[in-house]
Amino acid sequence: MRVIRFLAAIVCLAFGAVLGALNRQAVSIDVGFGHVASNLGIVMLACLLVGVIVGGMAISASVVWPLRRRLANAQKQGSSEPSSAKEIP
């Protein structure tokens, strides 16, 4: 598993390097309170990173947190049932 993660990291780094090297055009982005000047490759990678982070947070908020809540409730109910079942012969 460790080798697969390492290979995936190498592929992503190579993709980022190629993307940055092929897109050297200068761009200026207006963020409302100022301007950010950079090259197109870096802007594309930053937008991809922000998209992955926002998507991960959306998945976490809509799927993971409710499932964790259900699991915690099930564990609370499960821990109270065996103790009551032991009292009844």
At 17-57, the pLDDT tens digits run: 999 899 999 999 998 999 999 999 999 999 999 999 999 99
- Is 33 a member of any domain? yes
Average pLDDT over residues 2-10: 95
Q: How far apart are CA 9 and CA 74, in angstroms?
A: 37
42 located within any domain:
yes
Q: Each residue of 41-52: pLDDT tens digit?
A: 999 999 999 999
Q: Would you say residue 80 lies in a domain?
A: no
Instruction: Report the b/e string of 45-76 with b at 16+ CB within 10 A.
Output: beeeeeeeeeeeeeeeeeeeeeeeeeeeeeee
Q: Does residue 43 belong to any structural domain of this protein?
A: yes
Question: How many domains would you assign to the chain?
Answer: 1
Query: Does residue 59 form part of some domain?
Result: yes
> Is residue 57 domain-resident?
yes
pTM of the predicted model as reported, rounded to 2 decimal places: 0.70
Q: What is the mean pLDDT of residues 3-13?
A: 94
pLDDT reported for residue 83: 52
> Which residues constitute the domain of residue 68?
24-73
pLDDT at 79: 77
pLDDT tops 60 at residue 87? no
Report yes or no on 69 lying in a domain. yes
Task: Report the chain's mean pLDDT, rounded to a whole number.
Answer: 88
